[in-house]
Amino acid sequence: MLTWQWLGRVAYADAVSRMEALRARILDGDEAAQTLLLVEHPAVITLGRSADRAHVLASADALAARGVTLAPSTRGGDVTYHGPGQLVAYPVVRLDRGVVAHVERLARAAIDVAASFGVSARFDRACPGVWVEDRKLASLGVHVHRRVAIHGLALNVTTALDAFELIVPCGLRNARVTSLAAESGRSPALAEVAAAFAAAFGAAPSPLHSSTASVE
């Protein structure tokens, strides 16, 4: 049974450590360790396995001035930004239908959440992500080892969209980025959106789902 946890604001490296620890337990046979982690990160630019460092447009000094750090990532994809106001979903799960089905399940959950706020979104496999017309609402990237997946999806809720000017988002030079707040005119709390995402993803309620942690 997949349970979920809303952890609040967690540093990127700490979230990765949590994911890897859960994956190790699953690989050791502890299926109860399968968990949907829902977090918000302090400002960080992550570089996926196929990242082009030139897609980070800001200098080291400019990033430091904005309090943005850089971090390598084992997920697929290029360069992306995480920061306050963005919900990041990390399902640590054993795959039973393959990677594409897993990514589509993540995208569908984000689309369902967007719809609950009156925003019509779609999944694009050619330019992986969740889109509102030509504006990117959520980014996707996973890592799978022995059929157990980590990483996941980043959904812009009330994210400061000018932060994406620091990068070429996911390597797409002409892509615009949007958020639920920009599209709906509402600014929901991340905890509210986390609960909606967990329900849409099909995670079961758990005594752990209301736990919060702030690690920076």
Residues carrying an active site annotation: 170
SS3 for 18-34 is HHHHHHHHHHCCCHHHC
Count of other CB atoms within 10 angstroms of residue 122: 13
Sorted by sequence, the CB contacts under 8 Å of residue 21 that are 6+ apart come out as none
In sequence order, what DSSP letters do the residues of 84-115 get, joined into one string? Answer: TTEEEEEEEEE-SS-HHHHHHHHHHHHHHHHH
H or E segment to which residue 201 belongs: helix 190-201
The residue with tokens 């982690």 is 37
Sorted by sequence, the CB contacts under 8 Å of residue 149 that are 6+ apart come out as 91, 92, 93, 94, 95, 99, 102, 142, 143
In angstroms, the CA 192 to CA 196 distance is 6
* 171, amino acid identity: G
